[in-house]
Amino acid sequence: MAARLPAANSCLLASSSSSVNSQRRAAVRISAVAAPSIATGIATVVTAPKIAVQHTAPVSTAVSRATPALASVWREIQGCHDWESLVEPALNPLLREEIVRYGEFVVACYKAFDLEPSSKRYLNCKYGKKRMLREVGMPDAGYDVTKYIYATPDIAIPTQSGASCSRWIGYVAVSSDEESRRLGRRDILVSFRGTVTNTEWIANFMSSLTEARLDPHDPRPDVKVESGFLSLYTSDDSSSKFSSGSCRQQLLAEVSRLINQYKDEELSITLAGHSLGSSLALLCGYDLAELGLNRNGRNQRVPVTVYSFGGPRVGNPGFKERCEELGVKVLRVVNVNDPVTKLPGVIFNEGFRDLAERYELPWSCSCYAHVGVELSVDFFKMQNPVCVHDLDAYLGLLKCPKMVQVVKKDGVDFLTKTMELFDAWKWQDAAMQVGNLMQSLNI
């Protein structure tokens, strides 16, 4: 029997009857009191069309007097049913807590990243693996960092040290025995920071699709991803004193090692990232599933879940469909006013595809498409425009469960969608401005 989950406020989730092609939307108003850089705010929850999955029945929405322990419902919280009834009509409190928890692991990447050019650890992590989480204010996180991950932008822009080089992009960690008991499984976590350096911003805006070809035995030419993200994921800097191999090689080796180490336990693989980091998280999740590396000692598939914060589109519809076929679950947390989430593909995206299919217009697989279920927040009247892409602002709103009121919208007006489609041209310039602001502020 499926475990039972509560909804916000009344510990009750209303059932959802949306089909695979449903376009229903739900809105959640959230006060921005917890976000210091925002005067007021609104958060909107938008669920993407549901994907057909081969699992047991969805989580029951019957009344429960108490919130169930995470250990008993972790598969649902990790998206085994594409978060059906957990996002709408109200954001489930357990899911909220998990989103914030994984978001804080990403914040740790920013706090630990050394951006001081005179430092010996410039572009590296400030701390050793054993004390990193403690130094950034997470001594009770319940995870042990096992490996640091480095990425190399394949762009010839020298750093202040005189040459382009790899830089610390995130880390791999695994839940402790005590935390694993609370979670109901041993969790392998991969966390990525977002864009900070100039070369990484350029990687964000390359905006050209290329074949992923991550599986040498089945290249799948219909699966295409953004070239800048793929380059950052696969490029190698042989001169780096910190890393050995590309970001991809480091990740696949370490995650495989941990799966083998804990092969007889219940496992999950969780990837979390902000901005550019969310792109790397999705590429890694797809890569692990495509190569079949997410298998435990009993040859059972280990669930792969991506928590994306303020992430751009990563690939084409072929990439999206393949992720769904492989069972890679993606929960996208985005601010509707964040220009980075509109890129790449400001025009040729899933919205253009819907328009083309409705009016039988030609369209190409060169379009971009978001992957997964979307949880949208909408903050406005900002004291600082940079906060539209700020991870702390995202998490600040999500930490306000008592301020939630449900406002539901069924359907989307066609004219409105069309106007939004053509209005999207402005986002390219806006995103570059946000990038310049973030760079100047060392965000």
pLDDT tens digits, 59-83: 433 333 356 799 999 999 999 999 9
pLDDT at 438 over 50: no
Contact 161, 200 (CB under 8 A): no
Long-range pairs for 95-102 at CB < 8 Å and ≥24 separation?
96/8, 96/398, 96/401, 98/70, 99/307, 99/331, 99/333, 99/375, 99/398, 100/395, 100/398, 100/399, 102/189, 102/191, 102/270, 102/272, 102/307
For residue 443, the model assigns a pLDDT of: 41
Task: State mean pLDDT over 312-341.
Answer: 93
What digits encode the pLDDT tens for the residues 386-422? 678 889 989 988 887 654 333 333 333 333 443 444 4
| CA gap 333, 83 in Å, rounded | 13
Q: What are phi and psi of 78, to 5 degrees?
A: -85, 0
Provide the CA 274 distance to its chain's centre, in angstroms.
6
| CA gap 439, 275 in Å, rounded | 14
Contact 59, 13 (CB under 8 A): yes
pLDDT at 114 over 70: yes
Contact 329, 79 (CB under 8 A): yes
Which H or E run includes 96?
helix 93-112
The chain-wide mean pLDDT, for the chain, equals 75
For residue 45, the model assigns a pLDDT of: 38
Residues constituting the chain: 443
Q: pTM, whole model, 2 decimals?
A: 0.77
Top pLDDT among 19 and 437 is at: 437
Query: Which sequence positions are flagged as catalytic?
Result: 275, 338, 389
Both structure tokens of 238: 């042989």
Most confident residue range from 31-35, 109-113, 121-125, 390-394: 109-113
Both structure tokens of 205: 């805006």
All structural domains of the chain, each given as residue ranges with its CATH number in brackets, are: 25-440 (3.40.50.1820)
pLDDT at 27 over 50: no
pLDDT at 339 over 90: no
Q: What are phi and psi of 144, to 5 degrees?
A: -110, 125
pLDDT at 276 over 60: yes
Top pLDDT among 172 and 46 is at: 172
pLDDT at 270 over 60: yes
Contacts of 55 (CB under 8 A, 6+ apart): 75, 80, 81
Task: State mean pLDDT over 118-137.
Answer: 95
The band of 320, judged by pLDDT with boundaries at 50, 70 and 90, is very high
Top pLDDT among 37 and 90 is at: 90
Contacts of 67 (CB under 8 A, 6+ apart): 6, 11, 93, 94
Long-range pairs for 211-216 at CB < 8 Å and ≥24 separation?
212/286, 212/315, 212/319, 214/248, 214/286, 214/287, 214/290, 214/291, 215/290, 215/291
Top pLDDT among 372 and 443 is at: 372
Task: State mean pLDDT over 112-120.
Answer: 92
Torsion of the alpha carbons at 58, 332, 129 and 252, rounded to the nearest 10: 80
Top pLDDT among 356 and 374 is at: 374
Task: State mean pLDDT over 172-187.
Answer: 98
Q: What percent of the chain has pLDDT over 70?
A: 62
Q: CA end-to-end span of the chain, whole Å?
A: 46
Contact 28, 82 (CB under 8 A): no
Of 38-47, 55-64, 323-332, 339-348, least confident by mean pLDDT is 38-47
Q: What residue has token string 């899933």?
A: 350
| CA gap 244, 261 in Å, rounded | 21
